Structure formats: structure tokens, C-alpha cells
Structure 1
Amino acid sequence: MPNLPAQMTVIAISRPGGPEVLVPETRPLPVPKPGEILVKVEVAGVNRPDVSMRSGSYPPPPGASDLPGLEIAGEVVALGEGAARHRIGDKVMSLVAGGGYAQYCIAQDGQAMTVPPSLSMQEAGAIPETLMTVWHNVFERGALKAGETLLIHGGSSGIGTMAIQLAKAFGAKVIVTVGAQDKADACLKLGADHAVNYKTEDFVEAVKRYTDSAGANVILDMVGGDYVDRNYEAAAIEGRIVQIAFMSGALKATANFAKLMSKRLHHTGSTLRPRSIVEKAAMVAAIEAKVMPLLRDGRVKPPMDGTFPLERAADAHRRMETSAHIGKIVLVV
């Protein structure tokens, strides 16, 4: 077993607020419980839920770390009782319930995935949260099939860029909405069939045009607000709308529910963090069977926007809050 320090540097949330509330602290090294592993973090992904947690609108679930950071990549340095999937020295990437902004982090043995040689550690640290979010919402809840059309709002985000690649790999057509030409170009380069600039074009009309009026079979929405009603307009008969965030800030919406009935729509949604350990392990098992071959072959890779040292987490959050980023932002420990 590696000679481990007693303490570590973490980035804590000193109080709810802007990026400046992210401050370095020294804390004791966490000890893995049964079924857990301790990972020496090399890279931590930065995601929208981290920003929400920092601002005070996304508190950690009971028992989870009060530190931000929901995905990590690094080296296994200690095993809890019964942790048998990984060995000390293994390079892993994992979804975590929090605590990723640190030199060491606890992960569930059943949720950690071995990093394939095709990925750099920075890419590995940018994958678990987005990959599990996309897999569960687009393919498990949304049941996207080959030949169908997926509409992705926020196509150039970490989740959007992962969704484009997976949807195309499994034979679907992809339409994205973006707010700038450079984002449209990036999405088309990744394989999206059409990109709609929502600032200059009505996405409902564009979707109908691109689908010969049939509409989108699955819609992945992280905007909410008035998009809810417009998604019902843009959806195909038997369409599935999957809600994963409300970046518009509006948690309520007015919608024409007659469309829900006449088109036989399904409007569902989910959040990943509160899901049980068993449910997350089942998602990982499905991903290892269906998606890991694509990662190993280099057919799916997270586009990287930028890297920041751990101590500059505040700058990483500022970058994310500009919404100018294309792809993933990570912290390097």
C-alpha cells in the first residue's frame, strides 16, 4: 500500500456565493468504508451542478461530501473491505457523490471504471458524470433507437458533446441548438447533422424542416422555462422529452398539454446524484458493456475546453459561467 499522508488539500465552499467563495483548506485524508476505494485524484471534472452547489441551490444529499466535484480520474491507493473490482495502483475514472475537488477522494468500487489506454487522464476526468447522465437519460429513459432523431439543447456543453457522439455511434440523427457559430461548427465537426442558432432561428421550425415535419423522437432539455411548450411542438408522435436541468432559471412553465395527449408524448426527467449506489452501479455495468468499446476504440472522446490547477477552481467556475466554453473544463491536481 502506498505511504499516504494524514492530510490533504481540498477546495471548499466557504459560504454560498460566487466563484470567490471556493477556497483551499487542509482536511484529514478520508478512509474508505466497505465497498469503497480511495483515489489519489489527478483530474476532477467541473460541471454545472458544482456551480449550483457553490451558489447554495444544490445541497449535497445526506452522507455526501460537502466539497464540490462529481467526477474524478486518478490512481487507487486504498481499498475498503469487500472492494474487489479494482486493485491498488489501478487508474480509474468515477462518478462520485461529491468531494472531487481534492487531492484524494472516496469513490464507490462499483461505480469506478478502468481508464482505457485511448484516453488521457484529463479526458478520463471529463467523462463519468456526462457519460452516465447521457446514457441514462438519452438511452435508458429516452430509449433512443437507430434511425430516430435526437434534439439536444445546449449541444456544445459537456453533456451535449457526449450526447452527439453516442447518438451518432448508435445510428441516430442529431439536431443541436447552440448560441454561436463557433459552437455550431464544433457540434457539426463532432457529427451532429444540423445545428440551430437559437438566437437567430426558431428551433421548432428548424426541427420540423430538418425532419420533413415529423419532429424529434427524443429531446434532451437542460433549459426548461418556455422550452417546455416549444419542445412539445417540436416533438414527434410518441416523442420522449427528457428534462435534466433548468438553466433558464424557470422551474415552472406554461404548456399546451393537449399536445401531450394528441402526440402521445412522454415527458420525464432525472437527477443523478441522489440515485442509489445499486442504481448507479447498474448504469456503470450497462456503460461498460455498450459504451466502453467505443471509448477504447477512440470513437468517443470528450472535447476539452480548458484545464485549470486545483487551486484555481474559482477561475474554472468563472469560465463555465460565461457559457463560452465548448466541451469540458477540468481541474488538474
Structure 2
Amino acid sequence: MKAAVYREYSKDPTKVVKIEDIDIPKIKPNEVLIKVEAAAYNYNDLWGIWGEPIKIPLPHISGSDVAGTIVEVGSDVQKLKVGDRVVSHSNLSCRVCYECTSGREFDCSDRLVWGFQTGPLWGGFAQYTHLPEVNVVKIADNVSFNDAAAVSMVGMTSWHMLVGRAKIKPGQLVLVMGGGSGVGMVGIQIAKLYNCTVIATAGNKDKMDKCLEIGADYVVNHREADWYKKVREINKKLGQPGVDVVFEHIGKSVFPQEVALLKMGGTLVATGATTGYDSTIDLRYLFFRGTNLLGSTQGTKAELEDVMYWVSKGKIKPVIDTILPFSDMVQGHVMMAGAQQFGKILTTPQKL
């Protein structure tokens, strides 16, 4: 089979990521073999190629989001069969520890992100891949492989942030930072599914306009120095003392202002820090206002199933920027590094 392999780390993906011929993987008794029809890019694909912030197994196949058809099942597989249309659940955990059996597999001490931390040669950017049965979710016939791959990780992550952790309620005012990102686009749609008022932020006018197209009620440019003042102006217009929930993944450059924008008892839920980790906050906002600061990472298989249900009902619509043939798939890594796309970048391993 064809697979996108790199055998050394580099800041330039075009120098190390090559399409190679390797053997189709042999599955374990609890696994299924998937013919990959679509695979989506994530920022962790770049981290893997860079070897930062952690070193990952080499040689490596990246790719944590795939959708396709099951072509073989292991002897212990019970709920899936050959021919099922499926999408990957990339959170690999032990499933037997206290955290896992409490429904918190994302907190498992043995957790690995499939396609990022796994290997050698175990990821989604290949014509065939394998996963444990417990890490595969069926998709409805009316959900395309492209849409399923595009929404799987970002959808599950966003659902866990807003529904699982922040526990949003109808009528709340939600600030979705980085609305043009993968998680941000789904975050906007989940908040609207819950009948919330959404203020989104984005880094340029094109992305701002597209945030409005997918459901945001208001949008501001978070690259402007006074972006938070514009959010406050919207609050005043709405007669609100602050926002109920901040959906955060940008980090250092905006974190102090985000905390200050929360109303009494408001909640900030964070899943990343792309501009840096070493932020500061005024602790008076924490204890005088009863602020809730929540961390969030990945999500449960059940949360991915919730997302895929709403995709099948047309209430969450994956946004796709570019679909690349597999022979040109390394350009997806280049695009990710440039961060100019709006929507997910996909590659189609069966189409060279």
C-alpha cells in the first residue's frame, strides 16, 4: 500500500515526508482494518514532523482523523463488520484504569493520541490503517467520508469543551476564540445548536465573514490590540455584564483579557495555547468573581458519536477548505503551517 512516511525530523515537511510502498498492516484480534477514503490534517501532524514539543516514534505515519470502510475484522471484534462505514476515535487509552472506567478516558495516564504519538508506522495518512474496535465509530450513510474525517477530532474536542466541561445552557453568551480554526468552527455551531448567542473572533476579514456565515452572531478581530474592548461593547449592546463561557485555545496573547471578559461565575474552557503557555492572570478575577477555569483535551467516544449524530442531521456542518490528492499530500502540512485556510484540509489516500 501507499503511505506518507517520514524517517527523520525537520522543520520543512517537503524535505522528509515521502509517499512510500509499505506492507498492509496485520491486525490484532481486537482490531479492524480500514480502507482509508479521507484523512484530515491537524496541528499535531506538524509537531510530529518537527519532533517538538515531544519526540515521536520513527519511521512515522501521521494522521489522527480518518474515514473509510472496514475490510477486515479481528477474531475478537463483536460490534463491527466488513463493509461498515466508519470514522476514527483517536484517543487511545487503557479502558481499565479508574479514569477510563469513570468515563474519563481522556485523563488516562497511558493515553496516546493515535497518529501522533503512535508508531512506528501507525497513523492515518495511508491507504489502509488499523484501529481497536473501541476506537471506531460508525457513520450514517448520508455522511460523506470527507465530512466525517473533517469533523472527527475537532468536533469531539469542541463538544467535550462546551458540553462535557463548560456545560453550556441555552441563552448563554459564548465567546469562541479563533472561530476560523477547526475547533472554533465546530464550537460556533455547537453553541448555536444550544441556542446560545455567539461572539466569535478571527484573525482577518475573510475569516471573520465566514464565521458569520456558519452562525456567529458577532465577530471581532483578535489580532487588533483593542479586540477585547469591542467584545465589551457587544456585551453592553446586549445588556450583559460579561460573557458566560469563553472557548479558548489561543493562549498567552489573549488569555488575561479573556478572563477579564467573563461575568460573575463565568467559565473559561481551554484546550490549547498556540501563542504560548506562560500566561498570567489577575487572580482577583478568579476569586472575587468566582471564575471557573477548566482544562479540556480530546473527548470520549460517546461524545464523538453525539457529534456524528448531529452531522447526520445537518445541524453541524463540517467546513472543508482543500482536498489534496495523496501524491501531493505534503502540501497540506505546508498549508497548516501557514494557517491561512478556513476549514479542514483533507487528503484522499485512494486517489494518487
TM band (smaller chain): 0.7 to 0.9
Is 2:232 the counterpart of 1:208?
Answer: yes
Q: Which residue of 1 aligns with 2:3?
A: 10
Is 2:88 the counterpart of 1:71?
Answer: no
Q: State the one-letter code of the partner of 1:150.
A: V
Match of 2:257 among 214, 217, 230: 230
Q: Which residue of 2 aligns with 1:268?
A: 294
Q: 1:286 to 1:197 in 2, by over 3 A?
A: closer
Q: Which residue of 1 aligns with 2:94?
A: none
Equivalent pair of 2:6/2:59 in contact (CA under 8 Å): no
Q: 1:72 to 1:60 in 2, by over 3 A?
A: farther
Q: Greater CA deviation, 175-184 or 116-125?
A: 116-125
Match of 1:256 among 254, 279, 282: 282
Q: Alignment length, in residue pairs?
A: 314
> Which structure 2 segments of 5+ residues have no match?
91-113, 116-122
Q: What's the CA shift for 1:267?
A: 1.7
Q: What's the CA shift for 1:201?
A: 5.8
Q: 1:34 to 1:58 in 2, by over 3 A?
A: farther
Q: Which residue of 1 aligns with 2:196?
A: 172
**How far apart in 2 are the matches of 1:266 and 1:210?**
22
Q: What's the CA shift for 1:284?
A: 2.3
Where 2:150 maps in the other structure, the secondary structure is coil
Q: What's the CA shift for 1:331?
A: 0.8
Is 2:43 the counterpart of 1:48?
Answer: yes
Q: What's the CA shift for 1:40?
A: 0.8
**How far apart in 1 are the matches of 2:67 and 2:61?**
16
Q: Which residue of 1 aligns with 2:23?
A: 28
Q: State the one-letter code of the partner of 2:301.
A: V
Q: 1:13 to 1:244 in 2, by over 3 A?
A: farther
- Percent identical residues: 29
Q: What's the CA shift for 1:168?
A: 0.4
**How far apart in 1 are the matches of 2:35 and 2:54?**
25
Is 2:91 the counterpart of 1:93?
Answer: no
Any idea what the Cα deviations from partners look like across 1:243-279, whole Å, max 9, x if unmatched? 212211x22112211211112112222333xxxxxxx
> Which structure 1 segments of 5+ residues have no match?
1-7, 273-279
**How far apart in 2 are the matches of 1:217 and 1:187?**
20
**How far apart in 2 are the matches of 1:236 and 1:125?**
36
Alignment of 1:131-142 (within 5 A): 131-142=155-166
**How far apart in 2 are the matches of 1:322 and 1:38?**
33
Q: What's the CA shift for 1:169?
A: 0.9
Equivalent pair of 1:177/1:197 in contact (CA under 8 Å): yes
Q: 1:61 to 1:243 in 2, by over 3 A?
A: farther
Q: What's the CA shift for 1:66?
A: 3.6
Equivalent pair of 1:175/1:192 in contact (CA under 8 Å): yes
Q: State the one-letter code of the partner of 1:80.
A: G
Q: What's the CA shift for 1:61?
A: 7.4
Any idea what the Cα deviations from partners look like across 1:73-110, whole Å, max 9, x if unmatched? 01101112322222101111113311011111112322
Where 2:329 maps in the other structure, the secondary structure is helix
Equivalent pair of 2:148/2:308 in contact (CA under 8 Å): no
Equivalent pair of 2:71/2:82 in contact (CA under 8 Å): yes
Q: State the one-letter code of the partner of 1:285.
A: A
Equivalent pair of 1:152/1:221 in contact (CA under 8 Å): yes
Equivalent pair of 2:211/2:219 in contact (CA under 8 Å): yes
Q: State the one-letter code of the partner of 2:216.
A: A
Alignment of 1:89-128 (within 5 A): 89-96=83-90, 97-98=114-115, 99-128=123-152
Q: State the one-letter code of the partner of 1:116.
A: A
Where 1:126 maps in the other structure, the secondary structure is helix
Q: What's the CA shift for 1:129?
A: 0.6
Q: Normalising by structure 2, what TM-score?
A: 0.83
Q: State the one-letter code of the partner of 1:13.
A: Y
Q: State the one-letter code of the partner of 1:178.
A: A
Displacement over 6 Å in runs of 4+: none
